[in-house]
């Protein structure tokens, strides 16, 4: 494993190439891989590295530790929402901007912008998911082409509790059928892997002790296909999804999402409606069926 950013000693993302497969690992296991900006920029750098390397045919995204990702960082000591970073898009810096502009500019870059950019990587991507895949964690799994999951993984988007209509990358109605998407949003409960697979969101569900082997085996088999054929197939399916409204839906909901952030700030002075990581975790209801 190698460090991406030499001036950064915390190694929030690890990068490794095995055969023709790049393994990109979120590495904040002590915080269940909560994504701060440092991590999103390190992920972006790792993906660029994998795309640039002709020896890499397939990219696997995974999380170190017990969980894939608990979502966006809304409460660890490394929360860096007020910090400037070298941006990946042409969006201007959010730091110091007033009112709704702060979060709108930030989320255009680190959430919507980066997720779309990652979805469009010209190489097949596989999310390898274990344990929690919550809110911002869903965004990272959903940008991948395939999802291989352990049978103890679970999926939730509880941000409706903050008065917000789902996470920034609103792919809910393309990942699940609309009625199941409403179930996920309205209840905010954990959807177990078995149900997520039944609803078409997961490609494979396996016991955790074989999760890595099964994922890498699939990646290696894909890697035997020609690069251009893989890229064109990916583009064909992604373009078809966009023709079915995926991109336009996301743009529309991003506006609703930011209306909700701004509403929260007007009413309570807090963009997240008074919820931090602890409050979200303690309000997390168990699924009615598990």
Backbone angles phi, psi at 280, to 5 degrees: -65, -40
Nearer to Zn ion among residue 74 and residue 205 (C-beta): 74
The least distance separating Zn ion from the CB of residue 257, rounded to whole angstroms, comes to 6
Give the Cα separation of 183 and 136 in Å (integer): 18
Count residues contacting Zn ion (CB under 5 A)?
1
62 touches 26 (CB < 8 A): yes
Q: Of 44 and 107, which CB lies nearer to Zn ion in the complex structure?
A: 107
Cβ atoms < 10 Å from Cβ of 143:
21
Give min distance, CB of 103 to Zn ion, in A.
Answer: 6
SS3 category, 156: strand
In whole angstroms, the minimum distance from the beta carbon of 106 to Zn ion comes to: 8
Is the CB of 107 or the CB of 189 nearer to Zn ion?
107
- For the window 104-133, what string marks contact with Zn ion as x by the rule CB under 5 A? ---x--------------------------
What does the per-residue mask of binding to Zn ion show for 200-239, with x meaning CB under 5 A? ----------------------------------------
Return the closest-CA partner of residue 130 out of 6, 274, 14, 32: 32
* Window contacting Zn ion (CB under 5 A); options: 56-64, 78-86, 101-109, 145-153: 101-109
Give the burial class of 52: count Cβ atoms within 10 A of its Cβ; 0-12 exposed, 13-18 middle, 19 or more buried.
exposed
Q: Which is nearer to Zn ion, 225 or 256 (CB)?
A: 256
Minimum distance of Zn ion from residue 271's CB (angstroms): 8
Instruction: Select from 102-110, 144-152, 179-187, 229-237 the region that touches Zn ion (CB under 5 A).
Output: 102-110
* Smallest gap from residue 242 Cβ to Zn ion (A): 22
Of residues 14 and 70, the one with the C-beta less far from Zn ion: 70
Which residues, at least 6 apart from 244, have a Cβ–Cβ distance to it below 8 Å? 174
Nearer to Zn ion, 145 or 157 (CB): 157
Length of the chain: 290
Q: How far apart are CA 178 and CA 94, in angstroms?
A: 33
Sheet holding 132-134, edge to edge: 132-134, 154-156, 191-192
Q: Are strands 58-63 and 125-129 parallel, antiparallel or unpaired?
A: parallel
Contacting residues toward Zn ion, per CB under 5 A:
107
């Amino acid at each position: 494993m190698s460090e991406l950013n030499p001036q950064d000693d915390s190694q929030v993302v690890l990068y490794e190439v095995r055969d023709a497969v790049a393994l990109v690992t979120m590495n904040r296991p002590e915080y269940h891989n909560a994504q701060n900006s440092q991590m999103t920029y390190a992920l972006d750098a790792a993906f660029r590295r994998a795309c640039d390397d002709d020896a890499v045919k397939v990219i696997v995204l995974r999380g170190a530790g017990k969980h894939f990702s608990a979502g966006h960082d809304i409460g660890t000591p490394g929360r860096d929402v007020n910090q400037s970073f070298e941006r990946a898009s042409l969006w201007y810096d959010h730091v110091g901007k007033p009112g709704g502009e702060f979060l709108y500019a930030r989320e255009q870059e680190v959430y919507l912008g980066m997720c779309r950019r990652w979805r469009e990587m010209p190489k097949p991507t596989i999310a390898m998911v274990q344990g929690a895949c919550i809110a911002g964690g869903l965004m990272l799994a959903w940008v991948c082409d395939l999802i291989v999951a352990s049978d103890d993984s679970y999926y939730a988007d509880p941000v409706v509790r903050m008065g917000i209509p789902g996470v920034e990358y609103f792919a809910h109605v393309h990942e699940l059928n609309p009625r199941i998407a409403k179930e996920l949003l309205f209840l905010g409960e954990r959807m177990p892997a078995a149900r997520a697979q039944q609803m078409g969101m997961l490609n494979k569900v396996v016991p955790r002790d074989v999760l890595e082997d099964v994922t890498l085996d699939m990646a290696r088999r894909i890697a035997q296909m020609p690069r251009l054929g893989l890229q064109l197939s990916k583009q064909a399916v992604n373009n078809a999804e966009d023709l079915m409204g995926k991109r336009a839906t996301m743009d529309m909901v991003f506006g609703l999402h930011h209306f909700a952030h701004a509403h929260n700030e007007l009413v309570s002075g807090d963009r997240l409606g008074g919820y931090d990581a602890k409050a979200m975790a303690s309000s997390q209801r168990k699924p009615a069926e598990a």
